[in-house]
Amino acid sequence: MAGTAPDPFDAAEEAAAALGRITGVDHHDVAVVLGSGWAEAAGSIGEVVATASMDDLPGLPAPTVGGHRGELWSMRVAGRAVLVLGGRSHLYEGHGPDVVVHGVRAAVIAGCTTVLLTNAAGSLRPEWGPGTPVLISDQLNLSGTTPMGGPPPPDRFDGRFADMTDLYSPHLREVARMVDADLPEGVYAGMLGGAYETPAEIRMLQTLGADLVGMSTVLEAIAARHLGASLLGVSLVTNLAAGMAPAKLDHADVLEAGRAARGRVAELLRGVLEQL
């Protein structure tokens, strides 16, 4: 019908088909999404085979947030083809959930059976200060939306009610701890964003069981798991949360924390990819 929005799964399949043309690589095994501050580590993850602009992929907008690069890389790591997205789209930029998860959906449809999601996060645990990478063990989707809303997925995909019991793979978390035995793990709360949380909201999140808070990741995780991918999530603590931090929160500090931790996070990502 005229004016009807395109089906997001059809759009993801179109983008998946375009990945080979854009990168010159027929198949990718693993997808990595780099959050704020993580892009600094991209060049140290593996051998770069090809680069492209993220918006060369149909339906994928270029990131607009500082610390996100508008590039994607096809890499070789320990014999595997790895697709690295140098940034992501966010709800607070005005995108709907289908746009936010579009890159991850396309990667999984294109063959990526493992997805590594990274982000910058505020810490609700005083002992996890800036520069600490933390494995995500579970999540709270407090964004107010979901990629599984709207019409049901086409029949060629599983139904919308995917099991989220082991959303973040226990096996992949063990792999990560083989690389870095000191990694803590905790629950990530994903908010709509656009502004940092208030101290009252942080106290609420602590009551709900959150250890980390950010403005991304949760929708991508749901979409990837629905399509059958195994997930590893890693947050880089860039600040203590509101009411706990000694100074006002500033995105420039988030980026600086990412730069300072570049070596450790690159070693972690590379090590996990080598162990898959």
Contact present, 50 and 20 (Cβ < 8 Å): no
- Count how many Cα atoms sit within 13 Å of the Cα of residue 184 in the half-sphere of its side chain: 18
User: In angstroms, rounded to a whole number, what is the distance separating the alpha carbons of residues 260 and 196?
Assistant: 22
Beta bridge partners, 30, equal 82, 114
Q: Tell me the residue type at 156.
A: R
Contact present, 220 and 85 (Cβ < 8 Å): no
User: In angstroms, rounded to a whole number, what is the distance separating the alpha carbons of residues 189 and 121?
Assistant: 9
Residues in the chain, total? 276
R_g of the chain, CA atoms, integer Å: 18
Give me the active site residues, please.
197
**224: region left, alpha or beta (phi > 0 left; psi from -120 to 50 alpha):** alpha
Contact present, 261 and 133 (Cβ < 8 Å): yes
